[in-house]
Structure 1
Amino acid sequence: MSEHPLPAHGAAGAPAAHAGRGLVAIFGATFCELVGVFMLSPLLLLRLTDAGMSTAVAGLFAATVWVGILCMAPMASALTQRIGRRPALWLSAAVPVLTGLGFALTDQPALWFVLYLLAGMAGGLRWVLAEAIVAEFSPSHLRGRNVGLFETMVGTTFVIGPAVLAWVGPQNAQAVWWAVGFLALGLLGSLTVPAMPAAHDEGDVHVGLRGVWHALVTHPMVMAIGFIGGFFESGLTAMLPLYGLALGLGATAAALLVSASGLGSALVMLPAGELADRMARHPQQRWGDAANSRRRLMRAGAGLTLAATLVIPFVAGTPWLAAPVAFVWGGAGGSLYTLVMIDIGSRETGNTLVNSTAVLVMSYTLGGVLAPALGAAALQWSPTVGFPALLLIVAGAGYALLRR
């Protein structure tokens, strides 16, 4: 199948009007798909527990989607090289619709595990391609703003999806069809994404695991920053209620720590992208060229993460500090992810861009998976010593790497 790519043109690789249509299409399609995804995820867990499934098995089911993401991310560039970037995007949008229909029409837990794994693999492919497409369609002077706006939009779907589910009613038999409807809108929107700039690296870039390994060796900081961002933005958010309870906070106050982290992420990513654009365009290049200005911002984000983590030993005596710390973790972690995605999109195109984006997605996911696992163990061992020590090790190592 051919996607009839455009010839390269201008800084963004495509004419301005064409690139603008591409950005509108990928924003709208991704928004609809993710609303459906975040409606479906809690709904499936609720239905499994209502059917008598143990909490442990339900947790294993929830983790299946992340396994799918980790399995697919390193293979994204090989698939896109074989069938083309637009057909790969269409595939990543079609599979969730089919798996959603499977959830709606069957109630076999074993089959649900398989479907959720497939949905996770499609989600991993979509994650890599959507990020890469936004970066590639964006003109260089607006790439920071567009990437920051895209990340902020993605963050809103974490709230909007469950809110729509609550409005429809999780016990409503039509709830699953609402989710499938949003997934179908995401597919329709994906079909409207226009042809992409020609990938000039088709003949000489490595793809698959070899390509991801090459991207990792060439730019190891992508892996490091992605891991830190995933650890502090996504991973710690999952266990903040446990941390709040360990501090002696009430259940409501502990749950609100998640909101504090999410608020930090939502409010900071777009300004971070805008600031990256403005610093790069400074007439006297006060902060160096575009790449150096982004590195300065990354170091600042890592420094804020470390500074907030240094406050942790004092939180036990003053629990009200937990919310500001969570806000900084969410904002700094989200900013680091946004800035490194801007950096990747500014230096790479085509399948090379897909490879580096896959490294970022894998490392972010790894950080998001390890943070609750390691954090829960450290929290159980010692909320006042073990937990702060773990966070200081990760934040300190990240800051030291960026300083170097």
Structure 2
Amino acid sequence: MSISEAQTAVDPRSAVKSQRAETQKQTQKQTQKQTQKLPLLSLLALAMAVFITSLTETLPAGLLPAMSADLRVSESATGQTVTVYAIGTALTAIPLTAATARWRRKRLLLASMAGFAVANTVTALSGNYPLTMAARFVAGVAAGLAWALLAGYARRLAPAHLQGRAIAIAMSGIPVALSLGVPAGTFLGKALSWQAAFLVMTGLTLALLGWIGAAVPDYPGRRQGDRTPMLRALRVPGVAPVLFVTLVFVLAHTILYTFIATFLDGLGMGGSTDLVLLVFGAASLLSIWTVGAHISRRLRTLTIAGILLIAAAAALLAVLSDSPAMVYAAVTLWGLGWGGAPTLLQTAVGDAGGDEHLDAAQAMLVTLWNVAMAGGGIVGGVLLGALGSASFPWSILVLLAPVLAVVLAARTHGFPARRGSAV
């Protein structure tokens, strides 16, 4: 008889303890194995939330003539439905994020999506311009809550080394909305009515509410008294550089994107705007897939590559835009550089802020993002009136110079050579 067998015979409890320990080991291994996988059903629900958020913002752009006729205002005034949405987001993202910090995350996500359902329904049924603008403002408020919540939600759903990929899946709703959602909504508006397009958005949102309720796990908010002031989050190393890059990078992109139809008109390609945007959207989808596959270890490299790709696109548009082939090549580079930007920037600010400052950092990023979008329309309009649409590519090059400089300088915090969560 062996020593271990003799000990077991003397004390049978040791065998029970050994069996329990082995069972615990197997349970831990099984749990660890499960946590290595991404919860795709939950992440796709978040991607659908991002899709609805993005499409609600941009849908009026494809429906302006019909909306302006029914609301009895000019197309320029109807276009302000996009501006008031961005203003609603920019004004309320930070205070509402602070006010709802202790709410359970699933409850907050459901509330923000319900806000979209109400706002889009009122927009569809309203024949009154002030009421429509009020509904669009409410949609912007819902977007402020959603944008500040979604990236952090995706991070919490995934193990540390897959958090970047989880955010990429959630953010895939942006290029899908821009490349497929807006054209589809425009087609539906022409085939039926612009009101039908907004009611379809309501139907999609109601379906999403059920999806979230069934498939997305809940998480607690912050504990009572566990507050993170915005200024304290801003002082965390790395947060400020990411926010600066967000503001200027999005501003550079928005100047051209807002006036892309005008820019193409100046090149004699106004009839190809839908095809150009389709190419941009397809390239953006490829970009977000690439970023999702490599962000865990190459966030800094991907960010620098995205900036350089957009700079190359701007250079082509600045000097070779007389060739349609070069325009399409530039738009492809632009989409490749831009598609992964939301994922990269939200991951970077989340890494810099950490769990303690995540909500505050995300709220500031959302605010600056929308400030940049509103500013892009204003700056683009000034450039258009003063220098013409040919000035847009040159303005992008000027703005990207400090963006690249800050990313290169933020090697230790903000855009580190190696992510702390990469394993």
Q: What amino acid is the match of 1:206?
A: T
Contact 1:344 1:357 in 2 (8 A): yes
Per the alignment, residue 343 of structure 2 pairs with 338
Residue pairs, 1:226-237, within 5 angstroms: 226-237=246-257
- The answer as to 2:192 corresponding to 1:187 is no
Task: Select 1:125's aligned residue among 138, 145, 150.
Answer: 145
Number of equivalences: 377
Contact 2:88 2:137 in 1 (8 A): yes
Per the alignment, residue 396 of structure 2 pairs with 391
Q: 1:318 to 1:27 in 2, by over 3 A?
A: closer
Per the alignment, residue 272 of structure 2 pairs with 253
| CA distance in structure 2 between the aligned counterparts of 1:172 and 1:382, rounded to whole angstroms | 34
The farther-off stretch of 337-346 and 14-23 is 14-23
Q: 1:81 to 1:388 in 2, by over 3 A?
A: closer
Contact 1:235 1:371 in 2 (8 A): yes
- The answer as to 2:83 corresponding to 1:78 is no
Q: What amino acid is the match of 2:174?
A: V
Contact 1:260 1:324 in 2 (8 A): no
- The answer as to 2:299 corresponding to 1:294 is yes
Per the alignment, residue 370 of structure 1 pairs with 375
1:303: Cα distance to partner?
2.5
Per the alignment, residue 68 of structure 2 pairs with 48
- The answer as to 2:228 corresponding to 1:206 is yes
- The answer as to 2:404 corresponding to 1:382 is no
| CA distance in structure 1 between the aligned counterparts of 2:395 and 2:212, rounded to whole angstroms | 41
- The answer as to 2:181 corresponding to 1:160 is yes
The farther-off stretch of 296-305 and 127-136 is 296-305
| CA distance in structure 1 between the aligned counterparts of 2:67 and 2:316, rounded to whole angstroms | 40
Q: 1:201 to 1:295 in 2, by over 3 A?
A: farther
Q: 1:16 to 1:45 in 2, by over 3 A?
A: farther
The alignment's TM-score, normalised by the length of structure 2, stands at: 0.76
Q: Deviations over 1:182-238 (max 9, x none)?
A: 12122223333544455677644424x5466456x7511221232244235444222
1:270: Cα distance to partner?
1.5
- The answer as to 2:117 corresponding to 1:97 is yes
Per the alignment, residue 290 of structure 2 pairs with 271
- The answer as to 2:327 corresponding to 1:306 is no
Provide the secondary structure at the position in 1 that maps to 2:228. coil
Q: 1:226 to 1:127 in 2, by over 3 A?
A: same
| CA distance in structure 2 between the aligned counterparts of 1:17 and 1:340, rounded to whole angstroms | 23
Identity of aligned residues (%): 19
Provide the secondary structure at the position in 2 that maps to 1:366. helix
| CA distance in structure 2 between the aligned counterparts of 1:343 and 1:91, rounded to whole angstroms | 27
| CA distance in structure 2 between the aligned counterparts of 1:170 and 1:272, rounded to whole angstroms | 38
Q: 1:275 to 1:114 in 2, by over 3 A?
A: same
Per the alignment, residue 400 of structure 1 pairs with 405
Per the alignment, residue 46 of structure 2 pairs with 26
Q: What amino acid is the match of 2:128?
A: Q
1:58: Cα distance to partner?
1.0
| CA distance in structure 1 between the aligned counterparts of 2:341 and 2:54, rounded to whole angstroms | 22
| CA distance in structure 1 between the aligned counterparts of 2:376 and 2:71, rounded to whole angstroms | 30
Q: 1:239 to 1:174 in 2, by over 3 A?
A: closer
- The answer as to 2:336 corresponding to 1:328 is no
1:334: Cα distance to partner?
2.7
| CA distance in structure 1 between the aligned counterparts of 2:386 and 2:58, rounded to whole angstroms | 33
| CA distance in structure 2 between the aligned counterparts of 1:166 and 1:398, rounded to whole angstroms | 37
Per the alignment, residue 127 of structure 2 pairs with 107
1:17: Cα distance to partner?
7.7
Per the alignment, residue 262 of structure 1 pairs with 281
1:65: Cα distance to partner?
0.7
Q: What amino acid is the match of 2:187?
A: A
| CA distance in structure 2 between the aligned counterparts of 1:226 and 1:370, rounded to whole angstroms | 13
Per the alignment, residue 4 of structure 1 pairs with none
Q: What amino acid is the match of 1:321?
A: M
The farther-off stretch of 133-142 and 191-200 is 191-200
Contact 2:307 2:404 in 1 (8 A): yes
Contact 2:239 2:352 in 1 (8 A): no
Q: Deviations over 1:36-84 (max 9, x none)?
A: 6666775587333334311222122331111111112222431331433
Per the alignment, residue 289 of structure 1 pairs with none
Q: Deviations over 1:284-334 (max 9, x none)?
A: xxxxxxxxx322322222222333333343124545322222222232123
Question: Any unmatched runs of 5+ in structure 2?
Answer: 1-30, 410-423
Contact 1:228 1:333 in 2 (8 A): no
| CA distance in structure 2 between the aligned counterparts of 1:40 and 1:267, rounded to whole angstroms | 26
Per the alignment, residue 62 of structure 1 pairs with 82
Q: Deviations over 1:364-403 (max 9, x none)?
A: 2233222333234324433587434422210111112212
Provide the secondary structure at the position in 2 that maps to 1:249. coil
| CA distance in structure 2 between the aligned counterparts of 1:258 and 1:25, rounded to whole angstroms | 25
Q: 1:161 to 1:191 in 2, by over 3 A?
A: farther
Q: 1:386 to 1:44 in 2, by over 3 A?
A: closer
Q: 1:328 to 1:362 in 2, by over 3 A?
A: farther
RMSD: 3.4
Q: 1:24 to 1:392 in 2, by over 3 A?
A: closer
Contact 1:92 1:125 in 2 (8 A): yes
